[in-house]
Amino acid sequence: MYKENRFRGLTGADVKKDLIAGVTVGVVAIPLGMAFAIASGVKPEYGLYTTIIAGLLVALFGGSRFQIAGPTGAFIPILLAIVLQYGYEDLLIAGFLAGIMLILMSFFKVGSLIKFIPRSVTIGFTSGIAVIIFSGQLENFFGLAGIEKKEYFHQNMMQILSNLSTINIYSIMIAFTGLFIIIFIPKIFPRIPVLLVALIIPTIISILFFPDKMATIGTAFGGISQSLPPIQIPAVTWEKIVYLWQPAFVIAMLGGIESLLSAVVADGMTGKQHRSNRELFGQGLANIVTPFFGGIPATGAIARTATNIKSGAVSPFSGIFQSVFVLLTLLLFAPFASHIPLASMAPILMVVAFNMSEYKSFWHILKLRTGDSLVLVTTFLLTVFVNLTIAVPIGLLLAMISFIKRISGMVEVEKIIPDRFANGIAGNGDSDYRCPKIASYTVHGPLFFGAADRFEKMITRSINKRPAVLILKMRHVSLIDVTGEANLASLVEDFQKKKGIVLISELQEDPLNMLKKTGLYDRIGKDHFFENTTDAIDYAISIINVNKCPVCSKDGTTSCQVYKKINGHSS
């Protein structure tokens, strides 16, 4: 299934470029891995384990040459909610199940379908996640004490407000120092790994000037282990599967979406093409294996992938080198991490939240005041105040309803006057001429479940006096689904009961095949389908009884009679 060799044709110079890119990304990934883990309610080393294991497996088995995988900000509210509701052990099981789901998605080729998720939904939940991440760091930014993490946004805000009296001035100073470094240092020294510097300098300041004045990784989590943990197999049981399938599904869907978005960004930056289903396979494998090492769920990281490309990456070797670099850093320098103040982690996550909020796109969609705006706001509010498990399905449902409403409004039925009648067949030039025996309509738009009933009502309402022949020009009907076919069949059946004849002209191949499958084609009659409307009109004129026509039966009105005589037709 996955035979493409993404390592083929590499030179020594290419591997050197990958090494430099991998180390560069590793420097960025270390502070982010710890920060995302802490924000997710688990120990910081679990974020590093995820960076190492997931980064390596996605580089080896993923579908993009440049993808860097690991813990990401988008997962924070989901993972924190799972930890609070189910516990860390069940988080590992949920991640394991999500990995299996991602692999199943790859085999069923779901990767090509994820791209159809509306932008209003993705911007809505991304902005909501950004708000949760940003607000979740207020505790560490201000050094608040006595905060108990809650599942819901409003509960956490109440916790913060009720503990404002515990503000730590030293934490605020350290946090502002880190924020200043992140904002201004890149403008002066653009090549410096600013996130790592934003950890190191505040840590040195706190050690020299404010020792024991604020919470650190050591005081909060007991430091970081200087090795990978022993392999532990998650206790997956049927009861656990039933209990955790919903959060696992959310992890899988969000992981799939973010990894493919990251791969698309990489494609745009490099001109290369990723393989979406292979990428899902790699992400699934990474999430299956990572829990064995205590790691949290992972996905493709857009910022780190972009950094990888900008640093000169050529192949997946850069992702492998990134994992090796983080592993070596863990083995050599883990004890020093215990001195890192939590206040220095806060500005890193706040900036990450601000960058992922896509506030410009949010306001742009909001100002449109369309159905997309409603979908955006609903998804955003549900993400913030409830959770993604509810927000995304409801957002998708609203988007579908909005889409169906717009498409159904595109269905139009227009009454047409054939040129033979409009110009007067007998040459009398009577442009107001109407043949009461023949009704002709052009149908525009797809006949599907959202518009089929409207189509039938419009046709029925437009026929004031029952004609003998109904001509439907359906050149602009691109789709007929089961409901559309049923409504068309009802119209045909009703018309035929009154001895009328239905003629269909210029029907496209796919809708025509649909009518053949359902049998409506045979009920209408093979001879009543025409490739062009002119032939349908000629046929209609040839079969009507002009002697019973209220127009042609009058003296001096010879339109259809003359036409029938010229063309050799009899009444």
pLDDT value at position 547? Answer: 61
pLDDT value at position 227? Answer: 85
- Beta-carbon count within 10 A of 363 CB: 12
- Beta-carbon count within 10 A of 86 CB: 16
pLDDT value at position 465? Answer: 63
Residue 556 phi/psi, 5-degree rounding, is 85, -5
Decide if pLDDT at 529 tops 90. yes
Residue 326 phi/psi, 5-degree rounding, is -65, -40
Per-residue pLDDT of 396-439, as tens digits, reads 999 988 888 887 777 788 877 655 554 444 334 444 445 677 88
Q: What percent of the chain has pLDDT over 70?
A: 90
pLDDT value at position 424? Answer: 45
Please compute the mean of the pLDDT values over residues 466-484 and round it to a whole number. Answer: 88
Decide if pLDDT at 481 tops 50. yes
What domains appear along the chain, each with residue ranges and CATH number? Answer: 16-354+363-400 (no CATH), 412-566 (3.30.750.24)
- Any bridge partners for residue 505, and if so which? 473, 530
Please indicate whether residue 312 or residue 553 has the higher confidence score (pLDDT): 312
pLDDT value at position 235? Answer: 85
Instruction: Give the C-alpha separation, 509 to 226, whole Å.
Output: 66
Beta strands in 170-281 (DSSP E): none
Most confident stretch, 56-60, 111-115, 535-539:
56-60
Instruction: Give the C-alpha separation, 219 to 217, whole Å.
Output: 6
pLDDT value at position 225? Answer: 84
Instruction: Give the C-alpha separation, 240 to 142, whole Å.
Output: 38
Instruction: Give the C-alpha separation, 182 to 176, whole Å.
Output: 10
Residue 501 phi/psi, 5-degree rounding, is -120, 130
Which tokens sit at 482? 């089961």
pLDDT band with cut points at 50, 70 and 90 for residue 287: very high
Please compute the mean of the pLDDT values over residues 298-319 and round it to a whole number. Answer: 91
Please compute the mean of the pLDDT values over residues 148-165 and round it to a whole number. Answer: 90
Q: Dihedral of the CA atoms 123, 128, 134, 139 (nearest 10)?
A: -170
Decide if pLDDT at 20 tops 70. yes
Decide if pLDDT at 322 tops 90. yes
pLDDT value at position 241? Answer: 92
Per-residue pLDDT of 60-88, as tens digits, reads 999 999 999 999 988 988 899 899 988 99
Of 144-153, 315-324, 399-408, 412-421, the poorest mean pLDDT is in 412-421
Instruction: Give the C-alpha separation, 475 to 220, whole Å.
Output: 70
Per-residue pLDDT of 338-370, as tens digits, reads 999 999 999 999 998 898 888 999 999 999 888
pLDDT value at position 180? Answer: 96
Decide if pLDDT at 454 tops 80. no
pLDDT value at position 546? Answer: 61
pLDDT band with cut points at 50, 70 and 90 for residue 179: very high
pLDDT value at position 405? Answer: 81
Q: Report the mean per-residue pLDDT for the chain.
A: 86
Spatial CA neighbour of 272 closest among 313, 216, 218, 237: 313
Instruction: Give the C-alpha separation, 144 to 137, whole Å.
Output: 10
Q: Is the dihedral of CA 552, 557, 563, 565 positive or negative?
A: positive
pLDDT value at position 423? Answer: 47
Spatial CA neighbour of 20 closest among 313, 266, 307, 269: 313
Local structure of 119: helix, strand or coil: helix
